[in-house]
Amino acid sequence: MLLLSGIAITFASCDKKSADETINEEVAVADEPKSEAFDMNVYEKDHAKYSNELDEINAQHPDLYYVYYTDPNGWYTTSHGTYSVRVYGLDKDADLSKRYNEILRNRYNARAKRMNYYSTAYTSVAIPKEGYDKFYETLGKNISYPDGAEKEGIEGTIMVGFTVDVAGAVKNVRVVDGILTTDPALRDKFYMEATKAIQSTTGAWAPAQQNGKNVETDLEIPITFKLS
């Protein structure tokens, strides 16, 4: 059975074969940037830089993978809770492991500036018309566990970004972060299911407002794939 939960990240570098071991190292989190510090051009440049750095390390270490998991003490903040991350496969290279964690944190902080801007710049933010509990209940009916993934026992959270337009329609759905597996084809199946599920919620959103007028805004929410 597939369970869906929505909830933001502490980073840990662990041995690849010991998913339940205690986190070896935690990375401190910087204070969330103020909305006035947000600049779209800077954001796009920084986010691309961090993503490219991660891709370079991933290419050099094919056994590397990471997963997000719900954690009340996590620092990856979303509209529906907090998460932490465990990174596997870099335990033999402590310096690189620390660097990888730092890049992940920096990429998150860059994105946090953007989301903080949208949450403070408008009179009201975009929210599901029937609330988040009902929203996730609906999502659970519109998503399937990817073929082949259940056998592998893969679980984790995918962060999906999207735009809610002035009419409450959903567009520009994309995965901004999530499960990194050593099987790209399987990872892409998770991403496809997550994006399809969000696309199915178009019209279920009350748009953000500024001074009584509907405005377009970006959101980022988590979708957790958990076997039970």
Give this prediction's pTM: 0.71
Q: What is the mean pLDDT of residues 60-77?
A: 83
Kindly tell me if the per-residue pLDDT of 179 is higher than 50. yes
Of 71, 64, 70, whose CA–CA distance to 103 is shortest?
64
Kindly tell me if the per-residue pLDDT of 126 is higher than 70. yes
Could you give phi then psi for residue 128, rounded to 5 degrees? -60, 140
Span 74-114, pLDDT tens digits: 877 776 778 888 888 887 778 888 898 889 888 888 888 88
Nearest-angstrom CA–CA distance, 214 and 8:
27
Span 149-170, pLDDT tens digits: 777 777 778 889 999 999 999 9
Q: Which helix (DSSP H) or strand (DSSP E) does residue 55 occupy? A: helix 40-60
